Amino acid sequence: MTDLKRICNEIEIAVMETEKFIIRESGKFDIAFTETKGLHDFVTYVDKGSEKMLVERLKVIMPDAGFIAEEGTAAKKGVKYCWVIDPLDGTTNFVHGIRPYAISVALTGNGEPVAGVVCNVGVNELFKSWKNGGAWLNEKSINVSSASSLEDSLVATGFPYNDFSRLEEYMDSLTYFCRSTHGIRRLGSASIDLAYVACGRFEAFYEYGLKIWDVAAGILMVREAGGRVSDFSGNETKLDGNEIVAACNKVFPEFLENVSKFMQK
C-alpha cells in the first residue's frame, strides 16, 4: 500500500515552500493586478505562480499521478491517483488584503481523497490528514467538536458568488440557522471552513456551487477527525463540491435534515 503518511509529509513540505511565495507577494500585491475569470471569480499572478510551484513539486512525489488544478497549470490524467490543487483558496480575500486565504492540496485514489494538506497562509496553521491516519494541526491530533445539538453549534457557510439559482432558498436557510444556532460565520475560504470543522472551531459547514479543489483536502480532514461530509441529499461518496454539508458526528443528522429542508425545495 502507498505510504500515505510519508506522502502527506512531502505534500506539507511543498505547501510550506509555496506559502513563503504567497506571503512574500502579499506584501507588495496591488488589486490592479487582478484578473477576472467570471462573475465575481478572480485570479492573480499569485494564484498562477503558486499552482506552478505546487505542480512541479508534486510531480516528483508521485510521477504517475494526474492533476486537477484550478488554474489549469497541469491537466495530466492519472490511472488511479490524482492531485487536486487549489493554489490560493480565498483569492477575493487575498486581493483585498484580508484573511483567511489558504493553500489546499489533496491526493485522491479512485476518486476519493486519501491524503490532504490545508495551509492557513501566514498564521502558522497547517492542517493535514491521510486515510486512516487521523487529522492533525501543527503535528497535534485534532477532533471534531463534541457538541450534540444544532442549538449548541457555530455554523460556517459561504455566500453564492456567481450561481444565484438557489439564492432565495439559501437566504431562508440563513434565517433559520441565525435563529437556531450560536451564529453563522462566513470566512471566504471553504478549505479553511472544513479545517475548522475538523478541529472543532465550527460544528458545521454548508455551501453550494464549489469545485472539487475547494473541498477535497477538507473532506478527508473532517472524516479523519471524526466528522461526516455529504451532499444535500446525504450522499457521502464521490463529492465534487457542488453541494457540501460537513459537521461533527452528533450534529450531522440534524444539520443535514435542515439544510436539505431548505436547499432541496
Quick: pLDDT tens for 117-172: 999 999 999 999 999 999 999 999 999 999 999 999 999 999 987 778 899 999 99
Judged by DSSP in three states, 6 sits in: helix
pLDDT at 162: 76
pTM of the model: 0.93
- Residue 91 is placed in which grid cell? 483569492
Weakly modelled stretches of the chain, pLDDT under 50: 1, 39-40
DSSP characters for 38-67?
ETTEEE-HHHHHHHHHHHHHHHHH-TT-EE
| H or E segment to which residue 77 belongs | none
Would the CA dihedral through 237, 245, 117, 239 be positive or negative?
Answer: positive
In angstroms, the Cα distances linking 76 to 53, 228, 238 are: 16, 30, 20
Nearest one of 206, 210, 236 to 89, comparing CA atoms: 210
List, for residues 217-239, the tens digit of each pLDDT value.
999 999 999 999 999 999 999 89
**Omega of the bond prior to 113 within 30 degrees of 0, cis?**
no
| Alpha carbons 39 and 75: distance in angstroms, whole number | 24
- Residue 51 is placed in which grid cell? 499552482
What domains appear along the chain, each with residue ranges and CATH number? Answer: 4-142 (3.30.540.10), 150-263 (3.40.190.80)
pLDDT at 128: 98
Judged by DSSP in three states, 139 sits in: coil
